[in-house]
Structure 1
Amino acid sequence: MAITFQAEGVKLPPIKKRKTAEWIQSVAKEYGKQAGSLSYLFCSDEKILEVNRHYLQHDFYTDIITFDYTEEDILAGDIIISVDTVHSNAEKFGTLFAEELNRVIIHGVLHLCGINDKTEDDAKRMREAEEKALQMLRTR
């Protein structure tokens, strides 16, 4: 199991790496999964747009892109997060940057656990799963 946190073109956000990794493992376990190799890359809007265009053929900014390499019940993936968009969304939704960052960090894990957010019903389920996971972090 290896959960890594790196930054490219931005300062690494002030996260408690060990506590965050333990939280990710706990959330994965809630879904009958085990955290394997997860690599987080924090970047700028421009970098995530470049990745979105190159790998997904999407021409828009986003807060997170998750590449899923999960095999059976072992979660694995590359999770790319735009710190710029997380900041913007925190302002937009009236929440703290740290709270929004944690929401996005776990959003990627929830995708790897099989939760989608393409339809309205799926998006509602995702938001509920995010809130449950955030509550787990708050009570740690």
Structure 2
Amino acid sequence: MAIQFFEEGIKFSLKEKIKHKRWLKTIAENEGFKILELNYIFCTDEYLYQINLDYLNHNTFTDIITFDNSEIKGHIEGDIFISIERVRENADKIKGPIELEILRVMSHGLLHLMGYNDKNKEDKKIMSDMEDNSILLFQE
């Protein structure tokens, strides 16, 4: 299992990297998945915007983009890009700590790799509940 954290154009470092790796592994295992390779790339708004434009043809800013590279059912391989600027902005909007918003977005990307979606109201509710449960799991 390889979970790695990278920075692109921004100074950002997770505290307690080992705890985050164990947490992500537990989320996956609880859903019957095994992480083979998972990369989190923390970046700027502009960097993620360019990825959104170049790869998804979306002319919008976003907090996260997930690329699924998995080839074997039940095994996770992927790249998750997270805009730290956007996450900070989201945390400010809800008047919450950035650490919780980081956990929400990190779990959100992993949940996408396990097949969860957020395209309609019902799916968004399920995704939100799963994110909340994931955050609680980290805090235990």
* Same-fold call, TM cutoff 0.5: yes
CA distance in structure 1 between the partners assigned to 2:20 and 2:61 by the alignment: 25
CA distance in structure 1 between the partners assigned to 2:98 and 2:81 by the alignment: 17
- State the aligned residue count: 139
In structure 2, the partner of 1:16 is: 16
Moved more, 7-16 or 24-33: 7-16
Q: Match of 1:25, SS?
A: helix
CA distance in structure 2 between the partners assigned to 1:66 and 1:20 by the alignment: 18
Moved more, 7-16 or 27-36: 7-16
CA distance in structure 2 between the partners assigned to 1:14 and 1:42 by the alignment: 10
In structure 1, the partner of 2:123 is: 122
**Superposition map of 1:12-51 within 5 A:** 12-51=12-51
| 1:87-118 alpha-carbon deviations (Å, 9 max, x no partner) | 00000111100000111011100111111001
In structure 2, the partner of 1:7 is: 7
Percent sequence identity is 39
Matched, 1:88 2:71: no
In structure 2, the partner of 1:135 is: 136
* Letter paired with 2:27: V
Structure 1 portions without partners, runs of 5+: none
* Letter paired with 1:83: I
What is the CA distance between 1:14 and its match in structure 2?
A: 3.1
Q: Match of 1:38, SS?
A: strand
What is the CA distance between 1:13 and its match in structure 2?
A: 3.1
In structure 2, the partner of 1:67 is: 67
Q: Match of 1:50, SS?
A: helix
CA distance in structure 2 between the partners assigned to 1:96 and 1:87 by the alignment: 9
* Letter paired with 1:74: H
